[in-house]
Structure 1
Amino acid sequence: MLSGQVLNKQDKSVMAEVNISLEGIKSEGLTKTDGYFQMNVPANEDFILNISYPDYVTKRIPIESEGQHLDVGIIFLERDISTEQTDNLITLTDSEVLDDAISSDTSGLLQATRDIFLSRAAFDFGQAFFRVRGYDSQYGKVLLNGIPMNKFYDGRPQWNNWGGLNDATRNQQFTHGLQPSTYDFGGILGTTNIDTRPSGLRPGTRLSSSVSNRTYAGRLMVTHTSKSKEKGLTYSISASRRWAKQGYIDGTLYDAYSVSAALEYKFDKPNSINFTGILASNRRGRSSAITEEVFELVGKKYNPYWGFQNGEIRNSRERKIAEPILMLNHFYESKKFNLNTGVSYQFGTNYRSRLGYYNAPNPDPSYYRYLPSFYINSPIGANFISANAAKEGFLENPQLDWTKVYQANGTNDKASYVLYDDVTNDNQFTANSIGNIKLVEAFQFDFGLTYRKLKSKYFAKIHDLFGSEFHEDIDPFSNTLNDINGNTSKKEKDIFNYNYALDVSHFDGFAQLRYDRNKWEAFLSVDCNSINYQRKGKFQNERFPENSLGKSSPISFTNLGFKAGFTYRFNGRHQLVLNEALLNKPPITQNIFINPRENNEIVPNLQNEKINAADINYYIRLPKLIGRITAFHTRFQNSTDINFFFVDSGVGSDFVQEVLTDLDKLHKGIELGLEYELSSAVKVTAVAAVGNYTYASNPSVAINFDTAGAEENFINPEGSVDLGTADIKRYKLAQGPQKAFALGISYRDPKYWWIGATANYLADNYANISTITRTKSFFLNPETGNPFPEATEENANKLLAQSPLDNFYLLNLVGGKSWLKKGKYISIFASVNNLFDASFRTGGYEQSRNGNYGQLAQDNLSGTPSFAPKYWYGYGRTYFLNLAFSF
């Protein structure tokens, strides 16, 4: 028998419902209202007593059991100032250093974990867009009170839907990788459940204020949570405001506010209902990837999307998201059976603005024709005088010229420039139920059923005509109508260009059996899901009159998934865990319809994605040393990907939709995370990730032309061109740094201040490759239809060689201090990332404009190609400062 009492170190008050557990042994309990605890422990065995409570420093105490009653006395817990680092993490999660098209930051998934490797991945590697195991965030499941929040469109959770509500979403349960979750079958990256019930939050009022030079400059937040009651009403309300005229990247405004309310009513001890309402509105200016030529001219903060208008910054590409969530849950909790049944309704709009130009010059100041390289790489010979003039002109006027836009439109009734929004309007209903049953002492059965119904509308809407009377809704490249049945003259607030809807219905059920007995633990999970998609065109497009208007054929997928795991505990300090998953995943919405804005055409022979994943983990829990080493192997098969770009290929030139099928990817590597306690005040950490993420097949490639731009000999009856396979097997994936290392040290003073430093090294990062340049069409001369004589395999390999991005070091500092004054808790937290202001590229992509050997070789002769890869650059030295006041 083991007993003791837990007190708050700062005011010596008792702490109730503190979690008491034995590491490596399934034995746990909670302290009572007087702070005391008592639990049975194995006789004649050494183990580690773990005392944990949200937002407090976890305490680990070595215990030697001799079969007698052992009283450990009073155990003091102190507030964990480092929890304020979560606020720092949110700024990274919301970041748009990467464009939405390829951004897949997973750091938000990891904020609920105390695993040292995952903490480093989120808080230190995250600023370089490191991805755990190279996975996209669509492979991590995020739940809000047990209800899935991942979007159908791209599979990813939209963190902006609850951004700025850090206090209201602090209560999170995270399971990593293939580990079993009691809430869901889960994703191979992990499962996060955010619990908004007020009874799980710290009661009281909290005010906080932050300043930063990252995505926003300032933030104010207030949260109040009432005291939890055995019966009756408990509530929590939270609100925040975040803003910046521009963030770290030039021209990236930030304007966001968030409010939430949670009301929990307990009928009795097992039964309660909880209502949650969340509104998070986020508006911000977007930034662009740039070529190395542009970087050398104007630096890493450069963003071509903005310019001054009447002395104020105006960004042509803004994003605004406002998708409120309403949710009602019933919870039944007892020792043998838990049941969570919920319904939710989410609605709202996602706007992305864009400046369109019609029979007018491209307004982008970094457009390739306006840069020095255009004149140096001219087919008729280099013109250095014009190149120098272009350089001087760009440096004098590097930003978008709004005055010229207004001048161009002001002289015509028909607009040459149009600012419009790409709009997505969603309405989604979800109902689900999750149960956990303790069958007997060693067996637990978990199950869940979820139904989701989504109705989405997609359209373009004119925002500003810049003084013109109307916009002519005709495709300027083919001179065809976007809507045969509509009025071609469009005014502000009119829908134009495209207009369609997507309906998605999804049913998912999972069952899981877990066995836990002495030194053995095992689980088996089964998931079955069915999904249906259908497009409904609202415009009849003149380019596709037969299949653009009306409903498409329904597209349906039914899938099974399996997960299993086995744990062997050598003792309370060492354990071995093996996990395996085999599952089918339906394609996400954006990879089903080839060109949904214009027609109902779907990807031919569309398949489920097959995923085979396995990992082996060794955990160590010594009195001074804790950690984990993991080896993993994951293969993705039959993936589909769709890309849009303009290309001068060997089979024609035009805007195309590139469709990749039968695409396989291989992810394998090792993760290591260790934490060693040098003393009660000093800890050191060591973390390493060594991965190898590659293409594992040569996928089939087809491109869909506006058929006027393609050679007729190559076009099949469906209007696409089959380019065969792309030779990309063993090329590296663009999934962030594939190698990452960190050494950290922290000091926690008895007088309630704390400081830490982490040195990080990140390497083996790659830009996304152009697939079309790895097909047979690349070798064809479009003028003759024959291969280029000089396009030998050796020459092509040199031209298409994949080079890694920068390897770089980052030094990050964090620290804080807290005070307790007359029952009021005050804390300050500060962090400085990238202390030495290192410049590094976080990602990028090869441009596909030069889709044939002749043009690409010509463009690369000077060493400064006009269509060089474009890169995103990481933040330099940044800071974050947070002051919080709780009472």
Structure 2
Amino acid sequence: IGSNNSIVATAILASNRRGRSSAITEEVYKLADSKYNPYWGYQNGEIRNSRERKITEPILLLNHYLETDKFNLNTGVSYQKGINARSRLGYFNAPNPDPTYYRYLPSFYINSPIGANFISADLAKQGFLEKKQISWEGIYAANTKEKAAYVLYDDAVEDQQFAINSVGNLTINEHFQFYFGINYRSLQSDNQAIIVDLLGASYHEDSDPFSNTENNLDGDLRKGEKDIFNYHYKIAASQLDAFAQLKIALNKWNGFIAVNHSNTNYQRNGLFRNGRFPDTSFGKSETKSFSNPSFKGGLSYQITGRHWLRINGGYFDRPPVFQNVFINPRENNDIVNNLQNETISTVDANYFIRLPKLTGRLTGFYTRFQNATDVNYFFVDAGVGSDFVQEVITNLDKLHMGIELGLEYELSSSVKLSAVTAIGKYMYASDPNVAINFDTAGSEEDLINLEGNIDLGVAKIKDYKLSQGPQKAFAFGIEYRDPKYWWVAATANYLANNYANISTIARTQSFYIDPETAAPFPQATEENVTQLLRQKPLGNFYLLNLVGGKSWLKKGKYISIFVSVNNVFDTVFRTGGYEQSRNGNYGQLKEDNLSGNPLFAPKYWYGYGRTYFLNVAYSF
């Protein structure tokens, strides 16, 4: 639209469907292997995965650009509507269909409280090896009656997102530039469980089998395929933020200073009146609002044209994510008590070098996260009792600090060497407060208390390592480029000090309490507890990756081929994991570990073995 204005319209349709895999214990890994995935099984000779993720999220964008010599402005509007669904098997007054369920494994019989039963353990091992995948045939056989014992359903999130933003910059003079922007985002999120397949049954009874309560007191108890069941709620979220930044360039000095402020609002609207929370599940919650100022700045100094320094710092105030605002959004409107904004303080210092044959960067960084909140869900046998709980962690601090070095050296016009080092320290930096919440509807259940929540005090987790990936990483690479338009490269990597996520509830005082006597375990001394809860690294490992390619120019047409082989030596390695929180008291966890093959051992994810990639391109 003229020489200074332009409008661009964009439409994107993104659709994806993929199977999901599970973390597994060391016991299951030894019985199967690192590639084992218990979520799938054969149905009529074909593989069927019970855990799939399906995403369809089309996006519409409209942008206007205004460009002049000293002033630029980009204004955009976007709208996105789509669904993100994760499938799973539900079972109701029926055996758990997961082949790795703890009662189906040898360790269940080895760790029996009445003594190890090695005959039953061996039978369990043989049974697992013979039927280590989901038995779809068995599931359909169990569903021959009208009422479903098993259903396949989606945890579905249907989002509508609208956003409008405007970002501009003004060149004041050769030394000063001013940047500014404003952004508004609105989200309407519909969260529901949808029955995908009744698996041979006629209907599903929408009630909770543990408390014998209905999931929707105002709805039909019988549900069919494509019906919403279990839970249904909507989330309304909006955020308005604005920023301003001044950039300065003065001879050898360059710098910037910026300020940002945002306002965020969350509200839940329950569409089911849940039988376990009849007074707090249906209708709108209070609106939770957060106001967040943030600041950042940076300064660079050019020592020479080949050496320069840069330092950046910032203080960021940000709201908790929605998942950590509501304690149990699928069932009620309850909000975390004393909810706070999370604050982040960060600084990094950098040295850059650029010589004719050598380029590099050295960085040191320090980042402190404070007042974070985290909500988790699991079944626990704690010193205060046993139940399905929502664990609420508040006043949680984390620390990231370390150094990074990257170098690249041209050995010749054809050969290039590279080296990377990253040494970090990622840890918990406080002892946060832990509380648990649970329902009190089950008349036949042995309740922890009648209030539905209990404050467990602080969790002693300060200085435990975060599950952030390897805290030490080293890489060395060599690349050769031939004048005849082919190239090959190899990179050797060493990764170390990776840790599984810890169980927070196991580090509270309730861990010391014997649930049978309500008194501390005599053997639960600080020394014994520290040894039992000692955090172990996942294991260090080496990886070798190869890449190569070649290109041709034929009659004005460009042909190229790219090949990569990752993890050449097919190394087995763990990428992450987590401690199970089931054993929430000292006596139970100690007894579970006596055999060296615990029922509720940590679960791990494993990386890919040797993988290959081939890409052929033809340009005309």
Could you say which TM-score interval applies, normalised by the shorter chain?
over 0.9
Structure 2 residue 249 is the aligned partner of structure 1 residue 516: yes
Partner in structure 2 of residue 600 of structure 1? 333
Tell me how far apart the structure 2 counterparts of residues 495 and 656 of structure 1 sit (CA, whole Å).
24
After superposition, the Cα gap between the structure-2 partners of 1:710 and 1:337, relative to the gap in structure 1 and judged at 3 Å, is: farther
Partner in structure 1 of residue 509 of structure 2? 776
Partner in structure 1 of residue 210 of structure 2? 477
Per-residue deviation at 1:765?
0.2
Per-residue deviation at 1:399?
0.3
Amino acid aligned to 1:824:
K
| SS of equivalent residue, structure 1 residue 363 | coil
Tell me how far apart the structure 1 counterparts of residues 391 and 446 of structure 2 sit (CA, whole Å).
16
Contact kept? 1:651, 1:710, Cα under 8 Å? no
Tell me how far apart the structure 1 counterparts of residues 432 and 446 of structure 2 sit (CA, whole Å).
23
Structure 2 residue 75 is the aligned partner of structure 1 residue 341: yes
Per-residue deviation at 1:334?
2.6
Tell me how far apart the structure 2 counterparts of residues 848 and 448 of structure 1 sit (CA, whole Å).
45
| SS of equivalent residue, structure 1 residue 571 | coil
| SS of equivalent residue, structure 1 residue 867 | coil
Q: Deviations over 1:728-753 (max 9, x none)?
A: 00000000001000000101111111
Contact kept? 2:43, 2:137, Cα under 8 Å? yes
Per-residue deviation at 1:784?
1.1
**158, 168, 190: which one aligns with 1:435:** 168
Amino acid aligned to 2:583:
N
Q: Deviations over 1:562-589 (max 9, x none)?
A: 0010000011110000111001010011
Q: Deviations over 1:753-807 (max 9, x none)?
A: 1110011000000000000000011111111111111111111111100000110
Tell me how far apart the structure 2 counterparts of residues 692 and 651 of structure 1 sit (CA, whole Å).
34
Structure 2 residue 27 is the aligned partner of structure 1 residue 313: no
Partner in structure 2 of residue 326 of structure 1? 60
Partner in structure 1 of residue 185 of structure 2? 452
Structure 2 residue 266 is the aligned partner of structure 1 residue 533: yes
Partner in structure 2 of residue 489 of structure 1? 222
**293, 300, 303: which one aligns with 2:27:** 293
Amino acid aligned to 1:765:
N
1:114-513 to 2 correspondences below 5 Å: 267-410=1-144, 412-513=145-246
Per-residue deviation at 1:317?
0.6
Amino acid aligned to 2:104:
Y
Per-residue deviation at 1:715?
4.3
Contact kept? 1:753, 1:816, Cα under 8 Å? yes
| SS of equivalent residue, structure 2 residue 274 | coil
Contact kept? 1:755, 1:813, Cα under 8 Å? yes
Structure 2 residue 574 is the aligned partner of structure 1 residue 837: no
Partner in structure 2 of residue 846 of structure 1? 579
Matched residues, number: 618
Structure 2 residue 347 is the aligned partner of structure 1 residue 623: no
Contact kept? 1:651, 1:711, Cα under 8 Å? no
Tell me how far apart the structure 1 counterparts of residues 107 and 42 of structure 2 sit (CA, whole Å).
26
| SS of equivalent residue, structure 2 residue 14 | strand
Structure 2 residue 428 is the aligned partner of structure 1 residue 680: no
Q: Deviations over 1:456-489 (max 9, x none)?
A: 0000011111111111111100001111111111
Tell me how far apart the structure 2 counterparts of residues 744 and 774 of structure 1 sit (CA, whole Å).
42
Tell me how far apart the structure 1 counterparts of residues 274 and 60 of structure 2 sit (CA, whole Å).
37
Per-residue deviation at 1:716?
7.7
Partner in structure 2 of residue 828 of structure 1? 561
Tell me how far apart the structure 2 counterparts of residues 329 and 737 of structure 1 sit (CA, whole Å).
41
Tell me how far apart the structure 2 counterparts of residues 346 and 500 of structure 1 sit (CA, whole Å).
20
Structure scoring higher RCO (CA < 8 A, sep ≥ 6) equals 1
Tell me how far apart the structure 2 counterparts of residues 823 and 506 of structure 1 sit (CA, whole Å).
51
Amino acid aligned to 1:729:
K
Amino acid aligned to 2:439:
D
Tell me how far apart the structure 2 counterparts of residues 711 and 514 of structure 1 sit (CA, whole Å).
63
| SS of equivalent residue, structure 2 residue 177 | strand
Partner in structure 2 of residue 643 of structure 1? 376
Partner in structure 1 of residue 486 of structure 2? 753
Partner in structure 2 of residue 201 of structure 1? none
Report % sequence identity.
68
Structure 2 residue 537 is the aligned partner of structure 1 residue 812: no
Tell me how far apart the structure 2 counterparts of residues 711 and 775 of structure 1 sit (CA, whole Å).
22
Per-residue deviation at 1:517?
1.9
| SS of equivalent residue, structure 1 residue 374 | helix
Moved more, 331-340 or 520-529: 331-340
| SS of equivalent residue, structure 1 residue 607 | coil
Tell me how far apart the structure 2 counterparts of residues 461 and 524 of structure 1 sit (CA, whole Å).
49
Tell me the TM-score normalised to structure 2 length.
0.99
Per-residue deviation at 1:270?
2.4
Q: Deviations over 1:303-343 (max 9, x none)?
A: 00000000110000111000100000011123311110000
**584, 605, 614: which one aligns with 2:317:** 584
Per-residue deviation at 1:272?
1.1
After superposition, the Cα gap between the structure-2 partners of 1:335 and 1:681, relative to the gap in structure 1 and judged at 3 Å, is: farther
Tell me how far apart the structure 2 counterparts of residues 461 and 654 of structure 1 sit (CA, whole Å).
26
Partner in structure 1 of residue 527 of structure 2? 794
- Cα root mean square deviation, aligned: 1.1
Tell me how far apart the structure 2 counterparts of residues 762 and 655 of structure 1 sit (CA, whole Å).
37
Tell me the TM-score normalised to structure 1 length.
0.69
Tell me how far apart the structure 2 counterparts of residues 711 and 732 of structure 1 sit (CA, whole Å).
35
| SS of equivalent residue, structure 1 residue 744 | strand
Tell me how far apart the structure 2 counterparts of residues 448 and 716 of structure 1 sit (CA, whole Å).
51
Runs of 4+ in 1 over 4 A off after TM superposition: 708-712, 714-717
Amino acid aligned to 1:473:
D
Partner in structure 1 of residue 609 of structure 2? 876
Per-residue deviation at 1:269?
3.4
Tell me how far apart the structure 2 counterparts of residues 449 and 694 of structure 1 sit (CA, whole Å).
35
Structure 1 residues without counterparts, runs of 5 or longer: 1-266
Amino acid aligned to 1:855:
Q
Contact kept? 2:254, 2:301, Cα under 8 Å? yes
Amino acid aligned to 1:583:
F
Contact kept? 1:652, 1:710, Cα under 8 Å? no
Contact kept? 2:211, 2:445, Cα under 8 Å? no
Tell me how far apart the structure 2 counterparts of residues 373 and 284 of structure 1 sit (CA, whole Å).
32
Tell me how far apart the structure 1 counterparts of residues 38 and 17 of structure 2 sit (CA, whole Å).
18
Tell me how far apart the structure 1 counterparts of residues 49 and 9 of structure 2 sit (CA, whole Å).
38
Contact kept? 2:513, 2:585, Cα under 8 Å? yes
1:739-750 to 2 correspondences below 5 Å: 739-750=472-483
Contact kept? 1:351, 1:421, Cα under 8 Å? yes
Amino acid aligned to 1:754:
W
| SS of equivalent residue, structure 2 residue 340 | coil
Tell me how far apart the structure 2 counterparts of residues 725 and 390 of structure 1 sit (CA, whole Å).
40
1:712-751 to 2 correspondences below 5 Å: 715=449, 717=451, 719-751=452-484
Contact kept? 2:470, 2:498, Cα under 8 Å? yes
Contact kept? 2:204, 2:224, Cα under 8 Å? yes
| SS of equivalent residue, structure 1 residue 602 | coil
Contact kept? 1:530, 1:557, Cα under 8 Å? yes
Amino acid aligned to 1:551:
K
